[in-house]
Amino acid sequence: MFPALLSEKEASPLLPVVEHHHHHLQITTEENCCRRQLVEYALLLSSLLLTAFQFLVLYAFDGTCTSSNATLSQIAAGLHFSIPASLPTAVVFFVAAPYIARAEHIVVVSAIELSADMSITRPNPRFLTRTNRSFTSQIRSYAAPGEGTIPFAKKKYVPTTGTYPLGFRAGSAYSGVKASNTRFDDLALIASDTPCAGAAVFTTNKFQAAPVTVSRDMLKKRKGEGIRAVIINSGCANAVTGRGGIEDAVSMANSTDACFLAPNNSVDDLKGSRSIVMSTGIIGQRLPIQKITAKIPTAYHNLGATHDHWLATARAICTTDTFPKLVSRTFKLPSTQQQYCIAGMTKGAGMIHPNMATLLGVICTDAPIAAHPLRQALIAAISKSFNSISIDGDTSTNDTVAILANGAGGGQPVLSTASPDFQSFQETLTAFAVDLAKLVVRDGEGATKFVTIRVTNAATYKDAHRVASTIARSPLVKTALYGKDANWGRILCATGYAEGVDSVIPAETSVSFVPADGSGELKLLVQGEPEQVDEERAAKILEAEDLEIKVQLSEQEGEEAVFWTCDFSHEYVTINGDYRS
């Protein structure tokens, strides 16, 4: 639109513009200008009078000190220094300030009460953006969660004790990767006392980070055998960093390997690195590799097997996480009924969506699982855990989940995927991975709700999973949940546009809310027909932190998939708008 065609109201750049239909309350631009000029003249006149008084005291005083003019003597002495010092301030105040005020179109508006037919219109978007950024930067700073910073509502998810696998130790150190983090550990090391089997699954993002490439190549070269450690830095993702990033990831691995090749500790098997490397943080920046490699020996020195060691290590891999995510438990294999331990940590609060959808995760067990069945068990577990969560629909460049098994718990090795022990271990690992993945969703950036999406009666599991995933990443569904709005039409809309799904039968589709308190579900849509929704009960259900959305695609018995997600809040925008600061 050409400027000449703008109306007087549209062309005005003033902020705010106050309109009213009653003439006696209308404030015009001319009145504002006059008021501003009067204020400026009054300030200028006051300054001139004050300056005249200062010079009168300074130059009219004859310098003799008597009891009657002792006070004036002190004032005069002070003015010798204060007047020159005040001149720059006067120039800024009376020359620069009015100029800036005019340039920014600042309007002085008296305080009035806005009635029903008054409105503030056409805010200057540049002014609002500038103002919002200044306030945001003052009130928010994100770093790894330290002592005392975990929100009260999230403390229940942080374990106070744990049972950890034999032969594994964890440690952390501070390296100062990110300038805004001045005291929290940002380097984590999880190590086995003996070489062990290892496996990992990685992001499907085409811009895969350097540590993903280096770790995948290492595991492939070693065929998942002889692994000793996982080394992780937070604060910088080492993603999209070219050849230099690859070199940095290799340096991290080599520095970690060197800790295990000390005299009387280990012998190099000449098969290359033994360490899996992970990084998380800002994309597109090189690692301060000298800082990191200098502190890897410190992390190695800090290794320990206690709960505090594991918890501190879980905290060290955090970025925008509000709490460390650590889980441990015991299990048995049917062949011997011998007890084993499994422990794991994960990090992630944003950029979470399959495939993979973890950001980072490390799982360790002292069960004797060989490399090949270990990898198969991990792939199966990931499908129904970390690949079934979504926070914002973005798949990270660094997503990695690794598992190590050192067999320190004893017993016969599990060598085949056909053995009963393997089936039992796979079920244990899947349930364990689900619990870890849920913690990621519960810590979603700015999230206020933990939402389970259950899709039933699909022709295939893939169809059910695709529908659940589509609902989980719908911004309209997620914002409605944040607003406690039982807008089931958005759920149905997402169900209908799920790509590659043939299982949806509109005339047989049903949607309902399932309360977390165990009471009966609230039916919203039954076989394609809308229900008379009890809005009061719906509001009560949506007030709770936990909620389940159930979608039945047809009346025929079929496959079921479960997905976990959270809502979208104002806080999510704030966090990601300031992430690099």
Active site residues: 358
Consult the annotation and say whether 550 binds a ligand.
no
CA distance 1 to 170: 63
Residues in the chain: 581
Handedness of CA 536, 518, 486, 394 (dihedral sign): positive
Angle at the Cα of 196 from the Cα atoms of 195 and 199, rounded to 5 degrees: 135
Which tokens is 420 given? 């009963």
CB atoms within 10 A of CB 497: 11
Spatial contact of 398 and 277, defined as CB atoms under 8 Å apart:
no
Kind of pairing between the strands at 275-282 and 325-332: unpaired
Dihedral angle of Cα 533, 539, 541, 542, to the nearest 10 degrees: 120
Q: Nearest CA to 86 among 54, 108, 110?
A: 54
Residue 418: phi, psi to the nearest 5? Answer: -95, -10
SS3 121: strand
Q: Are 229 and 284 in contact (CB under 8 A)?
A: no
Two tokens, residue 510: 């049903």
Q: What is the 3-state secondary structure (H, E, C) of 4-28?
A: HHCCHHHHCCCECEEECCCHHHCCC
**Phi, psi (5° rounding) for residue 405?**
-135, 115
Question: By the 8 A CB rule, do 435 and 315 touch?
Answer: no
Q: Is 319 labeled as ligand-binding?
A: yes
| Alpha-helical segments (H) within 473-524 | 475-482, 488-496
3-state secondary structure of 214: helix
The reply, when asked if residue 557 is annotated as ligand binding, is no
Alpha helices (H) in 317-474, listed in sequence order: 371-383, 420-442, 461-472
- CA 130, 476, 139, 108 torsion: positive or negative? positive
For the record, the structure tokens of 251 come out as 């340096």
3-state secondary structure 359-381: CEEEEEECCCECHHHHHHHHHHH
Rounded to whole angstroms, the Cα distance separating 211 from 201 reads 13
The pair of three-digit structure tokens given for residue 371, joined into one six-digit string? 């490399």
Burial of 50 (0-12, 13-18, 19+ CB in 10 A): exposed
Query: What is the Cα–Cα distance from 242 to 210, expressed in whole angstroms?
Result: 8
Handedness of CA 403, 405, 409, 414 (dihedral sign): positive
The verdict on whether residue 519 carries a ligand-binding annotation is no
Alpha carbon of residue 287 to chain centroid: 20
Residue 445 annotated in ligand binding: yes
Q: Summarize the annotated binding site as residue ranges.
A: 319, 347, 358, 445, 576, 581
Q: Summarize the annotated binding site for substrate as residue ranges.
A: 319, 347, 358, 445, 576, 581
